[in-house]
A = this chain, B = another copy of it.
Amino acid sequence: MEKINMLQGLLERLRDGVVVGDGGVIFALERRGYVDAGKWTPEVVVEHPEAVKQLQREFLRAGSDVIQTFTYNGTQDKLTRALGKNTISCQQIADKACRIAEEVAKKGDVLIAGSITKCASYKDGKGKAAVQAQIRSQLELFTKNKVDFLIAELYFHVEEMEWAIEEALKTGLEVAATMGIGGKGDLNGVPAGECAVRMAKAGAKVVGVNCMFDPDETVNTIKEMKIALDDAGLSPFLMTQPNGFFCPGAGKYGYLSCPEFPFALEPRVVTRFDVHRYARAVYNLGVRYIGGCCGFEPYHIRAIAEELAEERGKMPLASEKHKPWGKNLETSYNEFLRKR
């Protein structure tokens, strides 16, 4: 009962205001040593739950309205390939990730989103039934743990995304769907606009883009999506969760094609000011679910929440110390800093 209430909550929140997403959990945890950068699987939820909890808690304090379960790449096919057979199971991960998210969520008025993504079986060409079976194990645990809604994210092929949405809708939960694409479309060349239309037609109430490209490119991609949706007479909610690394000129693989990926991306990290610009730009385009992905640290999420404080009617916890656009320097003791 309560759950259904909450689910309405997501769509209502989007209708009435802005939902701030969370940031890049796997990238932050890789740096800190909990994730293998060749495999990118989420066994840390079992091995070091405290590390996950603490990072998600910081996102919450920074202003996130949603905590995504850390189940990225947590399908059994990927886990088996990464960790071997009979080790940590897909179910264990989904279960533990849900519990961590719940504990974090207790401290704030936030929604929990069960997160699914592309699986190895699609790339291996095993077909629709195999792909849907992979995510079904995760979805069952999300239902059991009563998450508030689902996010199908970072799909590289809109076909796999359609299968995922179809399967996800069987849970009865609402589905937000974001592709990992830029202006060149999906890996088969399906344009961004067409991807958006197909996601909406497949039943996703929230559609958009996440990861792979920087905020600037993402602004362009969501613009294309909006135009195509308008043309098709569709009006799902829009959602963007770009990555936090500048990669202008990158091809279809986005920031993966930067030679600095994944260990030396520091010079490409966006500043808080870049995030202010991004948040304002997508808000003006009509996007109402605004977050980040890989490279978005809690302070970047905070910049979204601060930029949209008026629209949301609230500031994130502790942000009273942040004055907009570097005003703090005016009280500096160093004359040359005050002058900036």
Residue numbers of A with Cβ under 8 A of B are: 30-39, 44, 47-48, 51, 54, 57-58, 61-62, 120, 123, 184, 247-253, 256-264, 266-273, 297-299, 302, 316-319, 321-322, 326, 328-334, 336-337, 339-340
Contact = CB atoms under 8 A, between A and B. Distances in A.
A297 B299 CA distance: 13
A21 B316 CA distance: 31
A-B residue pairs, 10 tightest by C-beta: A38-B331, A31-B299, A38-B328, A37-B328, A250-B259, A266-B269, A249-B259, A33-B318, A264-B271, A251-B339
Contacts of A123: 333
A321 B263 contact: no
Given A44-B318, A248-B259, 16 more contacts: A31-B299, A32-B298, A33-B299, A33-B317, A37-B321, A48-B318, A51-B318, A54-B54, A248-B260, A250-B340, A257-B336, A261-B337, A263-B273, A264-B273, A266-B270, A267-B268
A329 B33 contact: no
Copies of this chain in its oligomeric complex:
4
Contacts of A38: 328-332
A339 B259 CA distance: 11
Contacts of A329: 37-38, 262
A269 B245 CA distance: 13
20 contacts: A32-B61, A32-B298, A32-B302, A33-B61, A33-B302, A37-B321, A37-B328, A38-B328, A54-B58, A120-B333, A247-B259, A249-B326, A250-B259, A251-B340, A257-B257, A258-B259, A262-B329, A263-B271, A264-B273, A267-B269
Contacts of A270: 266
Nearest to A305: B33
B31 A321 contact: no
Given A38-B330, A259-B340, A266 B264 contact: no
Nearest to A297: B31
A47 B321 CA distance: 12
Contacts of A251: 259, 336, 339-340
Nearest to A37: B328
A231 to B, nearest CB: 25
